[in-house]
Each structure stands twice: as structure tokens, then as C-alpha cells.
Amino acid sequence: MFRKLLIANRGEIAVRIERACAEIGIRSVAIYTEPDRFALHVKRADEAYFIGDDPLAGYLDARRLVDLARETGCDAVHPGYGFLAESAEFAALCAEAGIAFIGPDAKVIARMTDKITSKRLMREAGVPVTLGGLVELSSCEEALIQAEDIGYPVMLKPSTGGGGRGIRRCESPAQLRHAWQRVIAEANNAFGSEAVFLEKCIVDAQHIEVQVLADRHGGVIHLFERDCSIQRHTRKLLEIAPCPRLTPEQRAYVGTLAVRAAQVAGYENAGTVEFLVRGNEIYFMEMNSRIQVEHTVTEAVTGVDIVREQIRIAAGHKLSFRQEDIRHHGYALEFRINAEDPRNDFLPSFGRITRYYAPGGPGVRTDTAIYTGYQIPPYFGTLCLKLIVWGMTWDETLNRGIRALNDMRLQGIKTNAPLFEAILRHPDFRRGDFDTGFLTAHPELLNYSVKRNPEEVALVIAAAIAAHAGL
């Protein structure tokens, strides 16, 4: 097993990896730029190193991070998600330096992060894919011709990257023309590439993804599926495991497809195969060659520590489980509690957290790097914490989610927590009747009221008095 591991990331995922290292007996090494000087992942690590004043540059400097890993005696690097997690260059530099990269090798990353290449590979392997998406578009005119061929609506997407960024749904030629330059610009700014493609938009579909684990000894298993259909503009907000609407036959089929995809790709470590499901139609979208934000719900229903398995696989061990060992029990939900105002077009709400109280009780978990007094910097996105709840039944899980959201206290900023409570109370959601268009179809969910308890009201009054008195 590794002796020391550098975590090439920050925030809650860095804290999550530190916890796994502590349980295995590996020393953890954190990195931080100036805005993260007082961050929780820095405080919790066994060692921490400053990588520059610029908020982002240090986290994205692959060569410098590999040099730092060597200088500090690390024999492994975990990239987390985001930043360099799907950088083939970073994985290759680690390999050249004799440092284990906790993820697939550089060639596999390059193959799977290129969505056009991965779709071609899946089609050749007999995995169903959506219409289009097999060629890089060279002009808007070419896109218009292809859109007429496959039929509107279509999705215009960057060929690289992820997280729902840069994607536009186009209902007509006029919308496609309007979206073309914006998608090109976003793809270049976010992912350093202007490559885009077009595919058929599958409407009224569920976004289903399957967690896979693969070792270097030929072992490949899946840990069942997650439903990520509750989204805003292709950005995930709430994730569920397992999907409450899949039949046992669909569950077995989509799991088999995910394992086949991993085998065809020559995959090693943890990965996620994403599909669109509409009725009995199942289409491959992409494969994410990293740990996912929502891995927590899979851990909750299977009992498998995915980060621990990642580290073991990278160290050369066989999988701890066979496919027949994996069972799922109950349901789990993950709420991405973001610093944003859903009633104001999800405008970010960065600032100082004046009070934070984590919910607890049976079946409740929080993954976070915030604390009372923490200043949320405006450089890294809006995620504050991930609230995960588990229950034996669907109704129990929903009710536990409402209770946990009410228990949580996060003051000083606005969050999307009230929106989640409104979703959980909606009769369609409680029936499991939802797809990727759920929020668009139910704009009334944004009319929620923010409840204040007496203590919160007293704090607001005290702050107003202090401000008036010049204190």
C-alpha cells in the first residue's frame, strides 16, 4: 500500500480523500492557494503546501504538482473531480515520475474524455448511442445540415469537458445559429478546445448513470445505478440511488452495458457510465473517468467505500468484491447544497458563513469543507456541502430528507436547500414520476417560502441593531 498521497484538489472531495487515507494508514498531503489558506482540507491533512497566490493556477499546473509530489515523498496522487481529474497529460506526467495516478491511465482518459471518440467506440462494441455525435463539426452550416438530418430538437455539445458546461438544446435552425458561437467560446474557455458535436436530444428522458470499478487483473463490476434527472440546464442538483422507476430487467441490462463499456475501453479504477433512458430505450452518453460528486449515494446503498477501492486498485490490488457480492439496500438521496439563490435565477451567494450546524441522526451524512466563520471564495463554484440521506423505503428516505434539510442551519448566505424541500414534497416526485425536464415543467417549485425560526430572526435583528449603532 502507498505511504503518502498527494491530493491534487480542494474542498469537500479533498476532505473525503483525507478520511479514506486516515482509515487505510496513508499520510495525506494537501495543497492550497491563497484563498484556501484557512480551508478545512488544509487543516485536516497530515501535511499542506502553498502553491501560489492565484486562486486557480496552482490547482491546474500539472507539472508543478508532480514535482511537489516527488519533493514531498509521495508515491501516489489522487486528483478528485474537476481541475486535473480527467487530464491525460497529468496522468502521463505521474507515470513518467513513477508516481501512481489514482485513476485510469493517460491513453484511456484521452479516449473517454473525447466524447466523439468514446461514442464511436461504444457503437462498435454494440452499446446503443444517440443519433449523431460521431463527427466533429467544422462550421455552423455543417451543424445545420446535420440537425436537419437527425431532426430537432438537438444538443450542441463540447467534445471535451463535462459537468454539463457549454451544452445548448436547440429547437430550431435559428436557435442553433444563435447557440453556435456561444458553445464554441464556452468550450474553448472551459476546456481549451473548440471541438463540438451535435446529437439528437432525447426528450422526457431519465439521466441514469452506473458506477463501475475495474482492476488491472481483469475484474470489472458495477455498483448499480444512480438517477441524476433533477437538473437545471444540464447541471445536476439532486441524485438518487437506485433509480425508483427502473424495472429489475432494465437495471440488469444497464449494468451489463456499463461493464461492457468499461471492458471495451480497457478501463481501470472507478468510473461512471452515463445513459439516457426513455421507456425501454437506453442510450450511452459518455463515460467519466474519475470519481463523481454523487458517488456518496452509491456508497450509502451498497456499503462499498469507493474512494478506498480506488486507492487499493491503484496500488495493484484486486477488487475487494465480485459482482455477486454487490447488493443494494434501500434508497439514498444526495442534495448538492449550493451557495445560490434559486428564486433569483440561481445567482451565486458567496460570503461568510455566520453559522453552520450539520444535520445528523439515523441515515444522515454530510460531506463538506465549510465551518462557522468560513468565507466562501468566488473562484471555485458554489457547492457548500453534500447532504446524503438513506432509508429502507422510498417514502422513508423522502421524509428523512425533509427532516435533515430542516435540521440543517446554514446562515450568512442563501442556498438552494428550500428548493430541495419543495421538490421532496411534490406529489409527482414522491411517485417517482420525474425526468430531466422536471424543474422546467414545475416552475411553481421556485415559489417556496423561506422559513425562519425565532433564533434566526433574533440574529437578524441583533445584526441590524449592531449596524445602526456602528458596532
Per DSSP, the residues of 362-427 read: TTEEEEE---TT-B--TTS-SEEEEEEEEESSHHHHHHHHHHHHHH-EEESS--SHHHHHHHHH-H
- Cα separation, 269 vs 47, in Å, equals 26
d(Cα 200, Cα 224) in Å, to the nearest integer? Answer: 26
pLDDT at 469 over 80: no
Whole-number CA gyration radius for the chain: 22
Closest CA to 14 of 103, 85, 63, 105: 85
In the chain, pLDDT over 90 holds for what percent of residues?
Answer: 88
* pLDDT score, position 160: 83
Q: pLDDT-derived band of residue 256, with 50, 70 and 90 as boundaries?
A: very high
**CATH 3.40.50.20, the chain: domain bounds:** 4-102
Range in 85-89, 215-219, 457-461 with the lowest mean pLDDT: 457-461
Full strand arrangement of the beta sheet holding 100-101:
47-50, 27-32, 4-7, 76-78, 100-101
Averaged pLDDT, 355-370: 97
User: Residue 387 pairs with which residues in a beta bridge?
Assistant: 335, 366
Dihedral of alpha carbons 79, 81, 84, 89, sign: positive
Q: Which strand (E) or helix (H) includes residue 337?
A: strand 331-338
Overall pTM surpassing 0.85 (yes/no)? yes
CB 295 within 8 A of CB 20: no
* Confidence at residue 467, expressed as pLDDT on a 0 to 100 scale: 52
pLDDT band with cut points at 50, 70 and 90 for residue 455: low
Q: Is the pLDDT of residue 303 over 70?
A: yes
Q: What is the pLDDT of residues 101-126, one digit of tens each?
A: 999 999 999 999 998 999 999 999 99
User: Mean of the per-residue pLDDT values for the chain?
Assistant: 94
Catalytic residue, candidates 10, 168, 290, 365: 290
Please enumerate in sequence order all residues whose Cβ is within 8 A of that of 393, keeping only pairs 6 or more positions apart, or say none.
Answer: 330, 331
What amino acid is encoded at 261 in this protein?
A: A
Instruction: Return d(Cα 185, Cα 196) in angstroms, integer.
Output: 11
Sign for the CA dihedral angle at 27, 28, 31, 37 comes to negative
Contacts of residue 440, defined as CB under 8 A and 6 or more positions apart, other chains included, come to: none
> Average pLDDT of 460-467?
52
Q: Is the pLDDT of residue 464 over 80?
A: no
Q: Answer yes or no: is pLDDT of 322 > 80.
A: yes
The per-residue pLDDT for 165 is 81
Confidence of residue 465 (pLDDT cuts 50, 70, 90): low
C-alpha cell at 317: 490490488
The string of pLDDT tens digits covering residues 69-100 is 999 999 999 999 999 999 999 999 999 999 99
Instruction: Output the pLDDT for position 233.
Output: 85
Is residue 261 predicted with pLDDT exceeding 80?
yes
For residue 342, whether the previous peptide bond is cis, meaning omega lies within 30 degrees of 0, is no
Nearest to 101 by CA among 113, 84, 117: 84
Helical (H) or strand (E) element with 262: helix 248-265
Q: Is 354 exposed, middle or buried, given 0-12, 13-18 or 19+ CB atoms closer than 10 A?
A: middle
Mean local confidence (pLDDT), 261-272: 97
Strand partners, 5: 28, 76
Q: What share of residues in the chain are helix, strand, coil (percent, to 5)?
A: 40, 25, 35
pLDDT computed for residue 453 by the predictor: 57
How many CB atoms are closer than 10 A to CB 70? 15
- For 391-444, write each residue's pLDDT tens digit: 999 999 999 999 999 999 999 999 999 999 999 999 999 999 999 999 999 999
Q: Are 206 and 247 in contact (CB under 8 A)?
A: no
Burial 245-255 (b: 16+ CB within 10 A, else e): bbeeebbeebb
Q: Tell me, what DSSP letter sits at residue 161?
A: -
Question: What was the pLDDT predicted at 189?
Answer: 82
pLDDT band at 218 (very low <50, low <70, confident <90, very high): very high
What fold does the segment set 214-447 form as a domain?
D-amino Acid Aminotransferase; Chain A, domain 1 (3.30.470)
Residue 417, CA distances (Å) to 124, 213, 334, 383, 402 in order: 43, 32, 12, 12, 10
Give the phi and the psi of residue 127 in degrees, each rounded to 5. Answer: -90, 125
Going by pLDDT thresholds of 50, 70 and 90, the confidence category of residue 468 is: low
CA distance 264 to 147: 29
> Is residue 452 pLDDT above 90, yes or no?
no
- Helix then strand count (H, E) for the chain reads 16, 20
Alpha carbon distances (Å) from 129 to 133, 163, 203, 373? 9, 19, 15, 48
- What separation, in Å, do the N-terminal and C-terminal C-alpha atoms of the chain show? 55
Residue 430 among the catalytic residues: no
| Best CA proximity match to 86, nearest among 8, 3, 150, 179 | 8
Note the pLDDT of residue 470.
Answer: 55
pLDDT in the model for residue 193: 85
Architecture of the domain delimited by 4-102: 3-Layer(aba) Sandwich (3.40)
pLDDT of residue 234: 85
Nearest to 74 by CA among 157, 17, 13: 17
pLDDT at 374: 96
What integer pLDDT is reported at residue 449 of this predicted model?
A: 77
Which one is the CATH code of 131-200: 3.90.550.10, 2.60.40.420, 3.30.1490.20, 3.40.640.10?
3.30.1490.20
| Residue among 67, 78, 74, 66 at smallest CA distance from 102 | 78
Delimit the CATH 3.30.470.20 region(s) of the chain: 214-447
Q: For 146-194, how does the pLDDT look when each residue is reduced to its tens digit (9 = 90+)? A: 999 999 999 999 988 776 788 999 999 999 999 999 999 988 887 888 8
